[in-house]
Amino acid sequence: MAGTRAEIVSSAERVFDRHGFAGTGMDRLCEAASVSTRTLYKHVGSKTGLMAAVLESRMSRFFERFDVHSIEELFEALETWVAAEGARGCLFLRAQGETGGLTPEVSAVVAEYHRRLLELARRVIAEETGRPDEVLAEQLLVLFEGATSAAPYLGAGAISSARSAAVNLTRQAR
């Protein structure tokens, strides 16, 4: 089959997201991908390798969907994402927490994700206000992270709260 590895990775993403990384065994991952143990190992090497592949794949999908240029677009994209994938907290933070930051393959992807996320916040602020503003960018990042973290228990209201806060802060700074 052509997309065997892709199927392994995407089904693993779903299972990891729903049941945690350490809490999920290889059996369950094989079953979710409808693939034998041997095949899974041929494609991803190890559980750690699978985790890294999952995060890598999620990062690509994330930044495709968050190719935004304004605050409104940013939080609208987050609402769409949550509506489609559910709100269970940031998978990158969860991976880092579960591994204790002791798994280089995982930490590397998480670090890159955070670098790109900060870069995205900077870009949005620059395009929104017409000039770079490091403080505002960091505030936007904190609001985004907060919305992601609070959405599991506050619901979509967390996202609209974050959006209005970001809008107000930006207007105020102008």
Question: Which residues are at the interface with DNA (CB under 7 A)?
Answer: 1, 4, 22, 24-28, 34-39, 41-43, 46-48
Q: How many CB atoms lie within 10 A of CB 114?
A: 16
Ramachandran category for residue 36: left, alpha or beta (phi over 0 → left; psi -120 to 50 → alpha): beta
- Token pair, residue 105, equals 């393959």
Alpha helices in 66-156 (DSSP H): 71-85, 91-99, 104-129, 134-154
Q: Binds 4, which of a copy of itself, DNA, none (CB < 5 to 8 A, cut-off by type)?
A: DNA
Q: Which is nearer to DNA, 45 or 157 (CB)?
A: 45
Q: Mask: binding to a copy of itself, 113-132, rule CB under 8 A, as x and -?
A: -x---x--------------
Interatomic CA distance for residues 174 and 163, integer angstroms = 17
Nearest approach, Cβ of 147 to DNA (angstroms)? 31
Q: Which residues bind a copy of itself (CB under 8 A)?
A: 18-23, 88-90, 93-94, 96-100, 110-111, 114, 118, 135, 138-139, 141-150, 152-154, 157-158, 161-162, 164-165, 168-169, 172
